[in-house]
């Protein structure tokens, strides 16, 4: 399958309930994560994360789908067209 590079944005609106589940899912899909940055936005009671990913649409979709199924989590992604392997 063709691979894609992309960015996944995650906003966690209920850190106490969702953060552990989010981290479990990210750990389970670590093979597609190239980089990760997370910022707690304490004044708003939120956490904001950005991921750089490299994987097939199935791999990226499986991860974002699981994340999006968690209450208090909003996920959006943007991916490149298919990348040709050398």
CATH (domain of 65): 3.30.70.1150
Residue 65 falls inside a structural domain = yes
Would you say 9 and 19 are in contact if contact means Cβ atoms under 8 Å apart? no
Domain that holds residue 25: 3-79
Q: Name the pLDDT band for 1 (thresholds 50, 70, 90).
A: confident
Residue 86 falls inside a structural domain = no
Would you say 51 and 10 are in contact if contact means Cβ atoms under 8 Å apart? yes
Residue 8 falls inside a structural domain = yes
Sign of CA pseudo-dihedral 26, 18, 73, 48 = negative
For 16-71, write each residue's pLDDT tens digit: 889 899 999 999 999 999 999 999 998 998 999 999 999 999 999 999 999 999 99
Q: Which pTM was predicted?
A: 0.89
């Amino acid at each position: 399958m063709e691979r894609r590079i992309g960015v996944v944005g995650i906003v966690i609106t209920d850190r106490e309930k969702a953060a552990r589940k989010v981290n479990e899912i990210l750990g389970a899909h670590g093979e597609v994560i190239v980089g990760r940055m997370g910022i707690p936005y304490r004044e708003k009671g939120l956490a904001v994360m950005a991921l750089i990913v490299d994987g097939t649409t199935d791999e990226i979709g499986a991860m974002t789908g699981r994340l999006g199924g968690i209450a208090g989590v909003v996920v959006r992604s943007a991916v490149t067209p298919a990348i040709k392997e050398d």
